[in-house]
Amino acid sequence: MKKKLLLFLTLMLCGRAMTLAFITRAGGSSPGDPPVAWLMPLIGDAVIGITGLWVAYLIVRKTGLWVWTTIMIWNSIAIWDALSAFVVQKTSPWPDFFMLEIFGSSMSFGAALLHLAIIVLLNQREIRSHYLIGC
């Protein structure tokens, strides 16, 4: 059950790749374009979202210390990226982004908490023993 939850959360967080649609518009002058300061958080979200598919594959198909470590590092970087987006939102607001209009700053903290939940799951005995066979 915990492994399924780990996979579900990872696949859900792949949705961060939707920022690919906004990267080329960063710093643009059209209504709804993100401020240029948003370029790095957008790229970070896109990378996290796309690589999340690879992490999901690892969760399902592979074991070993390197897999556990990769999942841990992916989530740690993703937390950093989500919290940096919060800082960017506070210093250079993007008022016309629908996700921020709906969720506000809680969007960044929500993503960070989901990644933190994966880290907590990774440290559960059942999950650790699955990935750290022979370690």
**Tens of pLDDT, residues 61-95:** 999 999 999 999 999 999 999 999 999 999 998 77
The whole-model pTM stands at 0.90
41 or 101, which is more confident = 41
Confidence label for 31 from pLDDT (cuts 50, 70 and 90)? confident
Q: What does the H/E/C string look like for the chain?
A: CHHHHHHHHHHHHHHHHHHHHHHCCCCCCCCCCCCHHHHHHHHHHHHHHHHHHHHHHHHHHCCCHHHHHHHHHHHHHHHHHHHHHHHHHHHCCCCCCHHHHHHCCHHHHHHHHHHHHHHHHHCCHHHHHHHCCCC
**pLDDT mean over 39-45:** 95
